[in-house]
Amino acid sequence: MTTNQAINRADGLRPNAIDKQTKLEWLMEIEGQLRCFMELDPLDGHLSEDAALCVSPPFDNIYYLYLCARIDHAQQDSDLYFNDSVMFNGALERAKQWHRQHNLPKNCGNWRIG
């Protein structure tokens, strides 16, 4: 998924007047955290409009769920924010769990964890 795809999907689910730059900044926040968790190279301080995001299908829904939650929070819709946060957190936990099961830490050597 690219940043544009995530933004377009979130905008389709949550019509809003929030500018694209703000949404790119929100995506940069979650992308930076995910890259740290996955032990990938950090972002260089910006995220372009057509950048490929690091989490791939079937777990890439975390990006537009995150944006929906941020949009709802900005629009002060606490019911939708709560629902989107629950959905995002569940999707994020499933993605992290899959990543842990399929990727050994870099400093693990020959040890098998789990």
**Domain layout of the chain by residue ranges:** 3-104
Q: How far apart are CA 47 and CA 57, in angstroms?
A: 20
The per-residue pLDDT for range 55-93, each reduced to its tens digit, is: 999 999 999 999 999 999 999 999 999 999 999 999 999
Please say if the pLDDT value at position 54 is more than 80.
yes
Give pTM, 2 decimals. 0.86
Mean pLDDT of 28-35: 92
Mean pLDDT of 17-26: 96
DSSP conformational letter for 101: H
SS3 content of the chain, % helix, strand, coil (to 5): 60, 0, 35
- More confident of the two residues 110 and 66: 66
Please say if the pLDDT value at position 110 is more than 60.
no
- 66 with 88: CB under 8 angstroms? yes
